Chains A and B, each alone.
Chain A
């Protein structure tokens, strides 16, 4: 895993605990580390403080302090009128959230995982995403739907699906997926401030991961633009696009590839819709090779859209076919060895990058 220190936070302040083994990405003297969980919590706290129209609703967001502790301390701070525990009725409470947004409030609706959002998907698409268009701009829906997305560990088929591709295909929605703490803070703040419905896809396994953040990121006015990808690592030989947890995998793959003389450019998409086609295409025009990485099902996935975009805009720059790395085309199995085979691994990304660079590649080892 990433060799980055983990640390504990007390309320809003945090102490730095020097670990036995650590690698800090930033070498600035004021480099602080916060977990993705802390980043999300602080973003919610600051946006609720800045705008009284922002409120939270979802299962266990209040008294339980959040199923994954993302909303910890917020009920105590803002009271039960602004942090609302709902019954386990996604269709009902999502509709209520959208209705409140019609009136002008700014709900942040939590799905315990996005698998449960399927119970409410009619409200996300038909009531939220399409209303601004159908009403010719009369009704705006400033709502955020957030929660963990994609595979966790050993939770089985019904709790492991990635919804990025489904939601990102729908006009009227914005779909964001943060990777690190800076992404989590900046994108969640942007989502809450945005006047349109935003689907905010987090990752349960990243919640506890620490990342360095600058003072600028920690400022309460910090915000990232929606629709801009970030080049996490520059390179010249092959472009690797990824989002959420797979960005970490892609970065590790890039380190391994460097040892073999292949310099990969890793793009953290951050925004699935709108997709930052210009950054992706500019990168492909530089490297001439593209690997897309995602956790979700391969057919009609995010990688398919990126491939189509590159073929449409930069076809003559491609020196190799675009390859997409995705989850296996099978409901997520439970057994650990099968689950490992159903989700992309760092080695899969390395092999694909080598194939794109015409290197010979050994067959995939069995799990």
Chain B
């Protein structure tokens, strides 16, 4: 993960933490242990026109801590973006992903950088999971040259071509045919890789999606269509927008899998399964059952079309970061206190670069 590559001990802030870290000895080494651990997904998978993968997922301590760090950092990044937007340092649109982190992190764990990802406008965390830095995220959001699109794109247009992340698209549904085009190019170039085209439950009704799926199925393209179903297309609940909200079945002739999108291991397992399937048999749909805590964007309070009880309910029962935290604790990999310290350390590592950088305003067009 890119987050681990950031400078740690060079900044003074991280130095202050050193005595604290060394005072705590962990029962097992935290970042390097690859002893296999088996976890069960929260619920079994449901499938349409295909077999289901097993509920048992292989992982290890290293991966658990990576998941924890990445998702916790993403969570705090989105919350920080919320504050920056309210302070008017971020302008225009800002669509936050907190609650949905498991999809980005679980997917990345199942694939390589040769596989392509393309998504819509809720792209901050997907960009980070593909190797983008927090600096690039915040600089872009604030319109600075150090941003991933040099300040010319904004929140909805993050790209990282060297990691095969193709954005960042503002037009609902457009990214799905584009993703199928990436898959076409991968097959044409004989790259033995796949493309994950992410879209929401709102976009799932777009005609161009079915046009692209039709062509992908006809031409056997290695395209995986991932519906991040957070149950609300802006302010419209799925049952008001879709006659059939069983999005994993909407591919008809294309197989589909329904996945608990709040469980990073279920996501990882499903993506591994889908990649293998798509390389041999063509397109497959993954429906990630997930949830966003924020409204559709910063101008949407998110509570006019759903109850606060529903939001708190999901946060208490299904929060993806909390699930990993509980797994770490239940497998005796760290104590609560150690985890808190670790998280602080991760945050300081991640933001230490920002303290020392000059951010210039974009002066050219």
Contact = CB atoms under 8 A, between A and B. Distances in A.
Interface of A: 55, 81, 84, 86-87, 89, 91-105, 122-123, 126-127, 131, 133-136, 138-139
A280 to B, nearest CB: 25
Interface string B58-84: 000000000000000000000000000
B188 A105 contact: yes
Nearest to B152: A136
Which of A96, A105, A135, A136 counts the most chain B CB atoms within 10 A?
A96
A95 B176 contact: yes
Given A95-B208, A136-B150, A139-B161, A86 B215 contact: yes
Interface stretch (B27-35, B167-175, B327-335): B167-175
B157 A103 contact: no
Contacts of A84: 219
B214 A92 contact: yes
B210 to A, nearest CB: 8
B152 A101 contact: no
A100 B185 contact: yes
Given A95-B177, A134-B157, A136-B149, 6 more contacts: A92-B208, A102-B182, A133-B152, A135-B153, A136-B152, A138-B159
B221 to A, nearest CB: 8
Contact of A101 (B149, B150, B181): B181
B254 to A, nearest CB: 14
Interface of B: 116, 118, 148-153, 157, 159-161, 166-171, 174, 176-186, 188-189, 207-208, 210-212, 214-215, 218-219
A93 to B, nearest CB: 6
Nearest to B213: A92
Contact of A96 (B149, B150, B166, B177): B177
A11 B170 CA distance: 46
Leading 3 A-B pairs by shortest Cβ distance:
A99-B181, A95-B177, A92-B211
15 contacts: A87-B211, A87-B215, A91-B208, A93-B215, A96-B184, A96-B215, A99-B179, A102-B178, A105-B188, A122-B174, A123-B177, A133-B152, A135-B149, A138-B149, A139-B161
Given A92-B208, A93-B215, A126-B171, A138 B184 contact: no
A84 B181 CA distance: 13
A93 B211 contact: yes
Contacts of A92: 177, 180, 208, 210-212, 214-215
A91 B174 CA distance: 9
Contacts of A131: 167
A95 B181 contact: yes
Given A123-B174, A134-B157, A96 B180 contact: yes
B182 A100 contact: yes
Which of B153, B157, B208 counts the most chain A CB atoms within 10 A?
B208
A133 B168 CA distance: 13
B245 to A, nearest CB: 23
